[in-house]
Amino acid sequence: MESCPFCAIVQKRLPAETVYEDENALAFRDIRPQAPVHVLIVPKEHVGSADDVQDPTLWSRLMPAVKATAAKLGVSGGYRLVVNCGESAGQTVPHLHIHLLAGRGLQWPPG
């Protein structure tokens, strides 16, 4: 999608610090990190949000990138995955993304 910033990153029209890439997904560092490790894993195809996923296999096609990202960055002691779906949940970029956060203590429940 032309106006979507994460499509622009996938298509290399917008720079980002890529951590991992495969045929289905791109993982890149968040521009405003909320933890020492804060990476966004996005599908290469445009999907607006978790609610817009039509093909449930999309999730399983994203998960190898999650695991590979954690391994590549040497994450130890666990990590948190977050998917904000919709404005009131805090979604600000309308292209499905999984936040991978690690490297500090993470409270539960989140605020």
Q: Where in the sequence numbering do the catalytic residues fall?
A: 97
| Least distance to ligand 5GP, CB of residue 45, Å | 17
**Count, residues near Zn ion per rule CB under 5 A:** 6
Written as one string, the DSSP assignment of 37-106 is EEEEEEESS---SGGG---THHHHHHHHHHHHHHHHTT--S--EEE---SGGGT--SSS--EEEEESS--
What sign has the CA pseudo-torsion 67, 106, 90, 11?
Answer: negative
38 binds Zn ion (CB under 5 A): no
Collect all residues with Cβ–Cβ distance below 8 Å to 8 and sequence separation of at least 6.
Answer: 14
Q: Which does 4 bind (CB under 5 to 8 A by kind): ligand 5GP, Zn ion, none?
A: Zn ion
Q: Which does 53 bind (CB under 5 to 8 A by kind): ligand 5GP, Zn ion, none?
A: none
Q: Which does 101 bind (CB under 5 to 8 A by kind): Zn ion, ligand 5GP, none?
A: none
Q: Where along the sequence are the contacts to ligand 5GP (CB under 6 A)?
A: 5, 16, 28-32, 40, 84, 90-93
Binding site for Zn ion (CB under 5 A): 1, 4, 6-7, 46, 95
